[in-house]
Structure 1
Amino acid sequence: MTTSSKLHYTVPGMTQKDAKRVVELLQGRLDACNDLHLTLKHVHWNVVGPHFISVHEMLDPQVEAVRGFADDLAERIATLGGSPVGTPGRLVKSRTWDEYSLGRATTQEHLGALDLVYQGVIGDYREGMQELDELDMVTQDMFVAQTEQLELFHWFIRAHLEDKGGHLSTADATTEAEAAKAAIS
């Protein structure tokens, strides 16, 4: 199942062609936010270790904010005349990233893996912002606001992974497993 390529209408001043592309960008971020809030909740349930409670409690506001982002993205799709798709099947089918790989693990392992998750999500938002510069400033503004919050959450994660010299334990990691291992080394 994919977002219908046929728009019922679009907003004044936007062509159907541009609206279709904006809807595609929005649907990609909707998929990412749905995946991210589920991943964050998964981590919330599976963290263990001495810093359990601080990480456990840090994640809930992130989950709620990202759920709100998903709702805003879906409503923008509808505003542009599209039909947002938020089903599990859509998410699995359209995902271009791997399933989150950690189960029960220490807070540091999960935070290391989440560092890479946030890097991917934020990187994709920033690519979308560049493309939206020519297509739709309203949607771009939404992406900018959401990215600002995601970058703040990413900083919260990275603060646990940084030494006093500013070096991130996960700096050279390219997979969640590598990042998790680096975070405890």
Structure 2
Amino acid sequence: MTKNLTPKYTVPGIEREAAGRLIGVLRLRLHALNDLHLTLKHVHWNVVGPHFIAVHEMVDPQVDRVRDMADDVAERIAALGGVAQGTPGALVEERTWQDYSIGRDGAIAHLGALDLVYTGLIEGVRDAIKEVGEIDPATEDLLIEQLRDLEQFQWFVRAHLESSSGTLVTADADTEKEAAARGAELG
């Protein structure tokens, strides 16, 4: 990111330049969480088929928790002296991933695609934890708590995609569309 995110002030015990690094990391986490919130609602609205109600009802608590996570990240950015950019334009301009690619489709197809979404998100959180852990244990703790919840949500998704022999149908999928197609084979 080329923007100078160094705040004019920050929390005690953290240098302003270090706070700027934290803010930069947290901005991407905020965008990822806002994107996930919208993606989960998209799935909620566009899921069909025999597993409709299970998936429709499973994603709403995830939506609520993800919104809370985004709020926590935005408030941490503000506490560090930064600006929490929560606008759609900032999200689209600064994100490092493509938009969710599945429209109206079967429940298991959406879950296949969501498995890849969660994998990307979780990998990003783990990278962020490594980076902020060198600077600030409070920000690291915030991200670790969120990581636990995101991993649990992925487990909920994967429980629908796992065969009785323990094989995950999306294991080798590289794209959401490929993961959705593999999931649809189960559904």
**Could you say which TM-score interval applies, normalised by the shorter chain?**
over 0.9
TM-score normalised by structure 2 residue count = 0.96
Identity over aligned pairs, percent: 57
What residue in structure 2 maps to residue 86 of structure 1? 86
1:105 paired to 2:105:
yes
CA distance, structure 2, for counterparts of residue 65 and residue 183 of structure 1: 25
CA distance, structure 1, for counterparts of residue 31 and residue 3 of structure 2: 11
1:68-83 paired onto structure 2 within 5 Å = 68-83=68-83
1:54 paired to 2:54:
yes
What residue in structure 2 maps to residue 9 of structure 1? 9
C-alpha displacement at 1:6, in angstroms?
Answer: 4.0
C-alpha displacement at 1:65, in angstroms?
Answer: 0.3
CA distance, structure 2, for counterparts of residue 73 and residue 4 of structure 1: 19
Contact 2:6 2:21 in 1 (8 A): no
Contact 2:46 2:103 in 1 (8 A): yes
Residue type of the alignment partner of 1:161: L
Unpaired runs of 5+ in structure 1? none
C-alpha displacement at 1:56, in angstroms?
Answer: 0.1
What residue in structure 2 maps to residue 65 of structure 1? 65
C-alpha displacement at 1:166, in angstroms?
Answer: 1.0
CA distance, structure 1, for counterparts of residue 4 and residue 67 of structure 2: 23
Q: Can you list the C-alpha shifts for 1:58-111, whole angstroms capped at 9, x where unaligned?
A: 000000000000000000000001111000000111111111001100001100
What residue in structure 2 maps to residue 131 of structure 1? 131
Unpaired runs of 5+ in structure 2? none
Q: RMSD across aligned C-alpha pairs, in angstroms?
A: 1.2
TM-score normalised by structure 1 residue count = 0.97
Contact 1:44 1:56 in 2 (8 A): yes
Residue type of the alignment partner of 2:85: V
C-alpha displacement at 1:126, in angstroms?
Answer: 0.3
CA distance, structure 1, for counterparts of residue 134 and residue 56 of structure 2: 40
CA distance, structure 2, for counterparts of residue 13 and residue 96 of structure 1: 31
Contact 2:4 2:20 in 1 (8 A): no
Contact 1:47 1:104 in 2 (8 A): yes
C-alpha displacement at 1:17, in angstroms?
Answer: 1.1
Contact 2:6 2:19 in 1 (8 A): no
What residue in structure 2 maps to residue 39 of structure 1? 39
How many residues align? The count is: 184
C-alpha displacement at 1:3, in angstroms?
Answer: 7.0
CA distance, structure 1, for counterparts of residue 132 and residue 92 of structure 2: 25
What residue in structure 2 maps to residue 162 of structure 1? 162
C-alpha displacement at 1:30, in angstroms?
Answer: 0.2
C-alpha displacement at 1:33, in angstroms?
Answer: 0.2
